[in-house]
């Protein structure tokens, strides 16, 4: 009798998912040619991770497990963090998303950490640091009889190292920098990113203590402590410091806050060490030299017949825990210290994505009490089943080596294979691959406009909304365009009320609802929950204060907020435009930099069919600012057209448009009179301007990167698309660009 075979499963991927996979995940040859298809990637990953079972049973048949892993990923029910998809079964073999490194109070320790950071970023990981051990600025340095430059100056060293290393990587390096609120340099730390000109490769968070928060409540002073000797160096008013943190976050989204005592309250291995920092997005508290190995269940796939498919969810939880424990085993760690610490605690972080999609499929509004209660129920189930799966693995493979002395052992609990099991990560690009909403965030938009060619703008519509719109008979391209422009269904009365109630977006939801949802998932998560609390541009400092206080009251472990339009150079957004003042033009740019009296510039001579064209590119401190043209032959139509091009390019740059978008519009325009041959061929004056800008960017590589950093807060630097703010990071849903590793 012939053995029955299951037909091969080919993943159903959206066009965006395929774009992201081809650009960032699939194998390539040395010339950049893609060598594998998505199905090959999932097979490669499944077989590599399943093979770890042979380490525990030499003759184990891992093919059935590899098939289970493959089908789980190909069905888009579960995906591991990006490095695992990229590197499993390949030469690099580094599968962890992020790491925490210690920064000691000596020059040797500091620069060891810089070296280790470079090695980690080279391998595709992100890093978290606490700079709280470093003595404050102007403190004594006994060995040289000099004075210390303080934590912030050394953070700049890490920032420069990251900027250098990330140039050639598959993924951007990212850092988290944390400083305790009782460090003497805390006020400078709170303000260190206020001008947007430094530490652009860092997310920063203030480490708050319970003692500090109690002092805030009582409006009392608290002590500042020199970490070098433990001596009190002064006092600050806690309420004033808290207000400064809130005000700065209101202005540009940073710093975030983490509640350090809560991280250590839930530290499963306090006998090994104290938790000082988290990964770059804040959801994974880690001991020094630990790594995070994460994966997320797509909750949108866990619905059947309008009900949660609890049996399938249980199966995926158990498979996911097995998968992630195998990742810990087969991972090629970038440092021996990291391998030792990670294998001793075997921390994993099973999380979720598609939460907003699940609610839509269940007919539950995100901003309802029912959704909050359902979030608790779903995450409690995942956490309980995840721990059960980890206990089962401990029976077969042994408990994590540091189990003895852990909080589990002291509570006489059954051994676990993993010191932690659950984490809610932002999911970033893997949610694009899964065509799911990110993490536990609400929908970013129901519909948005995507530019795919020079003059083609396509309206992208959430698939669930498009399906129900067609089914209920109110679908039309014109309506989808209006939704894309408005960003919300809130005031569109032609859409049934029950649909408007369910398809809410991030800006339809009050900040308090964001925090309550975060707290609901945090209640049943071992590690932490990465979530961004979105505020409208009109939000006040008092609004942010209330959310920070609510996060503390609801036992969250940290908060990241983003007020729409608060970052410099935000040029794209989704949602209602603010009402213009009477008589003001409605299409006025969100930001337009004013011209300083003095600018620095470069002039390029371009040979056109109309004669030599001199193109001057001027920059301010942010980046490209204006462009002037001068024709070798004065006067005439060509000169006037070139002046018009210069004015429009200048306006575009001052309003936040990227250089590459200007180049894209001008390059290739042809007139009757060409000049030059081959690569030096100039098709027109417009083409010459484009080539001059390109030459400028090529000759000023640092400025290219500076421009990217200046503009990606609102628009993707790779494709110009809309970016979402999530968990202290920004992600482009169109091409998969991510600020963070």
What pLDDT does 457 receive? 59
What pLDDT does 293 receive? 95
Highest mean pLDDT among 48-57, 440-449, 620-629: 48-57
Same domain (yes/no): 339, 453: no
More confident residue, 581 or 590: 590
Cα separation, 438 vs 354, whole angstroms = 6
Residue-wise pLDDT tens digits, 427-453? 989 999 999 999 999 998 898 776 544
> Which of 231, 247, 278 is the endpoint of a domain?
278
More confident residue, 452 or 535: 535
pTM for this predicted structure: 0.81
5 is a domain residue = no
188-to-59, 92, 153, 541 alpha-carbon distances in Å: 59, 39, 11, 20
**CA dihedral in degrees (140, 145, 149, 150; nearest 10)?**
-30
Q: Name the band, by pLDDT with cuts 50, 70 and 90, for residue 708.
A: very low
Residue-wise pLDDT tens digits, 391-436? 999 999 999 999 999 999 999 999 999 999 999 999 989 999 999 9
* pLDDT, the chain, mean: 87
181 is a domain residue = yes
More confident residue, 458 or 602: 602
> Which of 258, 278, 298 is the endpoint of a domain?
278
Same domain (yes/no): 88, 102: no
Same domain (yes/no): 112, 206: yes
Mean pLDDT of 196-219: 94
Q: What percent of the chain has pLDDT over 90?
A: 62
Mean pLDDT of 453-468: 76
Cα separation, 289 vs 101, whole angstroms = 5
Same domain (yes/no): 585, 465: yes
134: cis peptide before it, omega within 30°? Answer: no
Cα separation, 69 vs 48, whole angstroms = 10
What pLDDT does 458 receive? 67
Cα separation, 275 vs 341, whole angstroms = 13
Same domain (yes/no): 45, 81: yes
The answer to whether the beta carbons of residues 675 and 609 sit under 8 Å apart is yes
Residue 249 predicted with pLDDT over 50: yes
Same domain (yes/no): 200, 337: no
What pLDDT does 694 receive? 84
Same domain (yes/no): 297, 407: yes
Q: How many domains does the chain have?
A: 4
668-to-686, 687, 695 alpha-carbon distances in Å: 8, 6, 15
Residue-wise pLDDT tens digits, 163-186? 887 644 445 568 999 999 999 999
Cα separation, 739 vs 741, whole angstroms = 7
What pLDDT does 450 receive? 63
302 is a domain residue = yes
Same domain (yes/no): 318, 399: yes
Residue 479 predicted with pLDDT over 60: yes
What pLDDT does 738 receive? 74
Q: Name the band, by pLDDT with cuts 50, 70 and 90, for residue 736.
A: confident
Provide φ and ψ at 107, rounded to 5°: -60, -35
What pLDDT does 710 receive? 35
183 is a domain residue = yes
CATH number, domain of 32, equals 3.20.70.20
Same domain (yes/no): 129, 231: yes
Which range has the worst mean pLDDT, 87-96, 215-224, 591-600? 591-600
721 is a domain residue = no
Cα separation, 501 vs 484, whole angstroms = 17
Q: Name the band, by pLDDT with cuts 50, 70 and 90, for residue 507.
A: confident
51 is a domain residue = yes
> Which of 365, 399, 432 is the endpoint of a domain?
432
User: Where do the H-state alpha helices sit in 149-285?
Assistant: 151-165, 186-190, 210-218, 238-252, 260-265
What pLDDT does 586 receive? 40
DSSP 7: P
Range of the domain at 321: 15-94+290-432
What pLDDT does 723 receive? 75
Q: What percent of the chain has pLDDT over 70?
A: 87
30 is a domain residue = yes
Same domain (yes/no): 331, 346: yes
What pLDDT does 166 receive? 63
Q: Name the band, by pLDDT with cuts 50, 70 and 90, for residue 143.
A: low
Residues with catalytic annotation? 279, 281, 283
72-to-196, 234, 320, 425 alpha-carbon distances in Å: 42, 56, 9, 19
- Find all residues with CB under 8 Å of 51, minimum gap 6, and list them: 62, 66, 330
DSSP 647: H
Residue 704 predicted with pLDDT over 60: no
Mean pLDDT of 288-312: 97
Residue 198 predicted with pLDDT over 80: yes
Residue-wise pLDDT tens digits, 310-368? 999 999 999 999 999 999 999 999 999 999 999 999 999 999 999 999 999 999 999 99
Same domain (yes/no): 408, 550: no
The answer to whether the beta carbons of residues 741 and 97 sit under 8 Å apart is yes
Same domain (yes/no): 111, 255: yes
Residue 590 predicted with pLDDT over 70: no
248 is a domain residue = yes
């Amino acid at each position: 009798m012939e053995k029955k075979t299951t037909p091969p499963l080919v993943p159903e991927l959206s066009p965006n998912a395929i774009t992201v996979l081809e650009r960032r995940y699939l194998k390539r040859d040395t010339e950049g040619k893609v060598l594998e298809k998505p199905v090959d990637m999932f097979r490669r990953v499944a077989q590599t991770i399943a093979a770890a079972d042979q380490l525990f049973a030499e003759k184990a048949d891992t093919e059935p497990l590899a098939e289970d892993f493959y089908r789980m990923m190909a069905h888009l029910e579960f995906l591991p963090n990006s490095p695992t998809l990229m590197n499993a079964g390949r030469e690099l073999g580094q599968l962890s998303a992020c790491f925490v490194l210690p920064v000691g109070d000596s020059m040797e320790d500091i620069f060891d950490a810089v070296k280790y950071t470079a090695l980690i970023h080279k391998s595709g990981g992100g890093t978290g640091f606490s700079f709280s051990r470093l003595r404050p600025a102007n403190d004594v340095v006994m060995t040289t009889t000099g004075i210390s430059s303080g934590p912030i100056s050394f953070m700049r060293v890490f920032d420069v190292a990251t900027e250098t290393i990330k140039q050639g990587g598959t993924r951007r390096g990212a850092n988290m920098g944390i400083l305790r609120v009782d460090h003497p340099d805390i006020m400078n730390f709170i303000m260190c990113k206020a001008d947007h000109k430094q530490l652009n490769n860092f997310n920063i968070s203030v480490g708050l203590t319970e003692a500090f928060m109690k002092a805030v409540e009582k409006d009392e002073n608290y002590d500042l402590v020199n970490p070098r000797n433990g001596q009190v160096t002064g006092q600050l008013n806690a309420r004033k410091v808290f207000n400064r943190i809130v005000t700065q976050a209101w202005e540009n989204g940073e710093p975030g806050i983490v509640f350090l005592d809560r991280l250590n309250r839930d530290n499963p291995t306090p006998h090994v060490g104290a938790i000082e920092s988290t990964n770059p997005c804040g959801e994974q508290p880690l001991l020094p030299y630990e790594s995070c190995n994460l994966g997320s269940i797509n909750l949108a796939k866990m619905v059947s017949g309008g009900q949660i498919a609890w049996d399938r969810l249980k199966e995926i939880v158990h498979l996911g825990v097995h998968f992630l424990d195998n990742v810990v085993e087969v991972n090629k760690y970038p440092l021996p210290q990291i391998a030792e610490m990670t294998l001793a605690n075997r921390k994993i972080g099973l999380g979720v994505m598609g939460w907003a999609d699940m609610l839509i499929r269940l007919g539950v509004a995100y901003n309802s009490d029912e959704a909050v209660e359902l979030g608790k129920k779903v995450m409690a189930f995942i956490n309980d089943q995840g721990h059960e799966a980890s206990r089962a693995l401990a029976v077969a493979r042994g408990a994590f080596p540091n189990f003895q002395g852990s909080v589990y052992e002291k509570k006489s609990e059954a051994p676990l294979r993993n010191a932690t099991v659950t984490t809610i990560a932002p999911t970033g690009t893997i949610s694009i691959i899964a065509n799911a909403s990110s993490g536990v965030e609400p929908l970013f938009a129901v519909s948005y406009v995507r530019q795919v060619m020079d003059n083609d703008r396509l309206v992208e519509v959430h698939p669930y909304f498009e399906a129900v719109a067609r089914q209920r008979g109110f679908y039309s391209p014109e309506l989808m365009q209006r939704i894309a422009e408005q960003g919300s269904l809130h005031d569109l009365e032609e859409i049934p009320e029950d649909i408007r109630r369910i398809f809410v977006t991030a800006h339809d939801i009050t900040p308090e609802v964001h925090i309550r949802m975060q707290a609901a998932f945090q209640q049943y998560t071992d590690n932490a929950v990465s979530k961004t609390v979105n505020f409208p541009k009109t939000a006040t400092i008092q609004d942010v204060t209330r959310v920070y206080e609510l996060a503390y009251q609801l036992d969250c472990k940290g908060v990241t907020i983003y007020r729409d339009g608060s970052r410099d150079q935000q040029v794209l957004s989704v949602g209602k435009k603010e009402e213009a003042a009477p008589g003001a033009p409605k299409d006025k740019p969100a930001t337009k930099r004013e011209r300083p009296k003095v600018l620095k510039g470069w002039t390029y001579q371009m040979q056109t069919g109309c004669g030599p064209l001199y193109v001057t590119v001027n920059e301010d401190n942010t980046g490209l600012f204006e462009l002037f043209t001068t024709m070798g032959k004065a006067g005439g139509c060509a000169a006037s057209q070139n002046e018009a091009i210069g004015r429009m390019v200048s306006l575009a740059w001052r309003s936040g448009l990227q250089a590459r978008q200007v180049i894209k519009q001008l390059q290739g325009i042809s007139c009757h009179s060409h000049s030059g041959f081959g690569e030096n061929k100039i098709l027109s004056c417009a083409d010459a301007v484009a080539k001059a800008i390109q030459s400028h960017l090529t000759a000023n590589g640092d400025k290219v990167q500076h421009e990217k950093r200046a503009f990606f807060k609102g628009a993707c630097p790779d494709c110009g698309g809309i970016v979402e703010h999530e968990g202290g990071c920004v992600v482009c849903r169109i091409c998969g660009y991510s600020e963070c590793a």
